[in-house]
Amino acid sequence: MNTPQISRRSFGLGMAGITAVILAGCGSSSDSSSSSSASASAASGGQGKASGGSLTLAYNSDGPHKAWVEAVCNSVSNTLGITMEPLPFAQFSELRDQITKHTLVGAFRSGWQGDYPSMANFLGSVYQTGAGSNDAQYSSADFDDLLAQAAAASDDATALADYEKAQTQLLTDLSAIPLWYQNGFGGYSNNVSDVEFDWHAVPVYHAIKTTADDGVVLANGTEPQNPLVPSNTNEVGGGRIVDLLFAGLVSYKTDGSVENEVAESIETSDNQNFTVKIKDGWKFSDGTAVTADSFIKAWNYGALLSNAQLSSYFYEPIEGFSYDKDSELTGLKKVDDLTFTIKLTAPASDFALRLGYAAFYPLPDSAYDDMDAFGESPVGNGPYTLDSWDHDSQAALVANADYDGVRKPANKGVTFTFYTDYDAAYNDLLSDAVDVIDSVPDSALSSFKDDLGKRAINQPGAVIQCFAIDVNTEHFKMDEEGRARRAALSRAIDRAQICDTLYYETRTPASDFTSPVIQGWTDKVDGNEVLTFDADEAKKLWDQAEAISKF
């Protein structure tokens, strides 16, 4: 198994110290900004705009995104002479619903927080044809072919060269426009200790110790978009809960390296045929055994076309997978209760690395009686069980006394409060009413290190912030006009100024679509000059598009 060495990750932004240059066009105060955003929302019926000289940028206002959205809108408006304005959605789940249904007309906040430590995850999961997180509906045969070549490569150097070529194709098309890499930053209360953020900037919840009488750690979170079914959970709010309720064949250490969890061993001689042996004695929280069938049936459920699971594309390498019809994963074969084999359609150099992601978690037999009901009250095999889920309010997890894996809880539970305002979460942290938060509001970015002292966290993470526009949107399709407009938008954004002014060393301008903490990252990808601010070039590109069709 190849095991790249990694660092960490998270999401957040800042507003303090903003200059008039950045704020002028999108509102220089909270009042004017709210008015502009409300106007955009009302004028578009909540669907956004991408014509008539106006472009909206949708975002969720329950996260700390307002300041950077305003700054990007202003930079584009001032440079290109169009009107770009924020379009807020009250909750992340509302924004995700619109994005998933492809009802947004304009631009929308996007990005990626690594699922597993690999270039393939940042590129394939978001931009490959048919991928569950391909929100812009991008499709490029050349890009897909380069990903396939990288997956089949016999060595890391060849694979990384193919991934770099694939990024050059993305830089030509720009279905999403990379903005900056985000550190994992936040902090913790006086009531807890042993707090770390992992390689993709999620707090390592199971390791946190608390002095609270009930032994429960209080954390911030967001309402999950869907019921908590591993193969249908591909966003942060649901993902962090699912990852605590279930255990996969492998898990990722804090630094991103891999260790076996449910697996006794995973063996391959050709990166195409794998033999998996499961440790004896693993049980789900309902007392039933975790067996080879627990994985085989769960993966088949996740892959089946008619089940429409958001992470179904993770099973694409396995023999028998189909995007066109219901089809059994014939590449999965049970040997005995604790052994099964996996046959891929082609060698995949990082396949074993992927097996710690949620799509590859096992499910108990009881799940298939009613999967929606199961997702509301899931039965897992991880370090915690779900005690209660009060929608749009909180989810309470309790330590699983029967769990005997590598992530044994140092606390008695974790309760996620679904904040709709990061200022409220931060104020709760300052008063020790919440124990750990994994982002900081705009108002506190300049001061949180001083406020929290040694309890402040700011470290590199596998997170990139972007915005995207659906490739079917008029004026922004994958044609000469659309590519010119996308490149013009990218060139019109002064990333360095925004990062320097807003972010207080928590962001770095992006030079690719991945993250500096991922093995193989480089800031010298061919074509990445399109990510550099150049007002003259931006105007030239926009004028080229205008000559084809008036915006």
Rounded to a whole number of angstroms, the distance between the first and last alpha carbons of the chain is 51
Q: How far is Cα 28 from Cα 21, in angstroms, rounded to an integer?
A: 9
Structure tokens at 8: 């960490």
Structure tokens at 234: 């591909």
Residue reference for tokens 């954390």: 219
Q: Sign of dihedral through CA atoms 203, 206, 208, 211? A: positive
- Look at residue 255 in the predicted model and tell me its pLDDT: 86
Q: Is residue 384 within 8 Å of 358, Cβ to Cβ?
A: no
Give ∠ CA 94-97-103 in degrees, rounded to 5: 110
Helix (H) / strand (E) containing 156: helix 156-173
Residue by residue, pLDDT tens for the chain (551 residues) are: 332 222 222 233 222 222 222 333 333 233 333 334 443 443 344 589 999 999 999 999 888 899 999 999 999 999 999 999 999 999 888 899 999 999 999 999 999 988 888 999 999 989 999 887 899 999 999 999 999 899 888 788 999 999 999 999 999 999 999 999 999 899 999 999 999 999 888 999 999 999 999 999 999 999 999 999 999 998 889 999 999 999 999 999 998 889 999 999 999 998 899 999 999 999 999 999 999 999 999 999 999 999 999 999 899 999 999 999 999 999 999 999 999 999 999 888 889 999 999 999 999 999 999 999 999 999 999 999 999 999 999 999 999 999 999 999 999 999 999 998 889 999 999 999 999 999 998 889 999 999 999 999 998 889 999 999 999 999 999 999 999 999 999 999 999 999 999 998 899 999 999 999 898 899 999 999 999 999 999 999 999 999 999 99
Structure tokens at 68: 């950077």
Structure tokens at 471: 């490739």
Helix (H) / strand (E) containing 260: strand 258-260
Q: What share of the chain is helix, strand, coil (3-state, %, to 5)?
A: 35, 20, 45
Residue reference for tokens 């009107």: 83
Q: Is residue 428 within 8 Å of 186, Cβ to Cβ?
A: no
Instruction: Rounding to the nearest 10 degrees, give the CA dihedral for residues 126, 132, 133, 139.
Output: 50
- Look at residue 46 in the predicted model and tell me its pLDDT: 55
Q: Sign of dihedral through CA atoms 77, 82, 83, 88? A: negative
Q: How far is Cα 535 from Cα 445, in angstroms, rounded to an integer?
A: 29
Tell me the backbone φ, ψ of residue 309, rounded to 5 degrees.
-80, 135
Q: How far is Cα 259 from Cα 67, in angstroms, rounded to an integer?
A: 39
Q: In angstroms, what is the C-alpha Rg of the chain?
A: 23
Q: How far is Cα 403 from Cα 134, in angstroms, rounded to an integer?
A: 35
Q: How far is Cα 373 from Cα 384, in angstroms, rounded to an integer?
A: 19
Q: Which residue segments constitute the domains of the chain, with CATH numbers given? A: 50-182+461-548 (3.40.190.10), 248-382 (3.90.76.10)
Q: How far is Cα 250 from Cα 166, in angstroms, rounded to an integer?
A: 28
Q: Are strands 384-390 and 192-193 parallel, antiparallel or unpaired?
A: unpaired
Using DSSP, state whether 60 is helix, strand or coil.
strand
- Look at residue 384 in the predicted model and tell me its pLDDT: 98
Q: State the angle between helix axes of 480-491 and 156-173 in degrees (0 to 180), rounded to the nearest 10.
A: 100
Residue reference for tokens 């694979």: 159
Structure tokens at 238: 């649901």
Residue reference for tokens 């007002």: 535
Q: Is residue 463 within 8 Å of 11, Cβ to Cβ?
A: yes
Using DSSP, state whether 283 is helix, strand or coil.
strand
User: Strands, DSSP E only, in 91-194?
Assistant: 107-113, 176-182, 184-188, 192-193
Instruction: Indicate the length of the chain as a whole number.
Output: 551
Tally the C-alpha atoms within 13 A of residue 275's C-alpha that lie toward its C-beta: 6
- Look at residue 377 in the predicted model and tell me its pLDDT: 97
Give ∠ CA 245-227-439 in degrees, rounded to 5: 65
Q: Are strands 436-437 and 332-336 parallel, antiparallel or unpaired?
A: unpaired
Q: Are strands 176-182 and 463-469 parallel, antiparallel or unpaired?
A: antiparallel
Q: Is residue 539 within 8 Å of 491, Cβ to Cβ?
A: no
Tally of helices (H runs) and strands (E runs) in the chain: 16, 22
Amino acid at 477: K
- Look at residue 20 in the predicted model and tell me its pLDDT: 27
Q: Is residue 176 within 8 Å of 467, Cβ to Cβ?
A: yes
Q: How far is Cα 282 from Cα 64, in angstroms, rounded to an integer?
A: 40
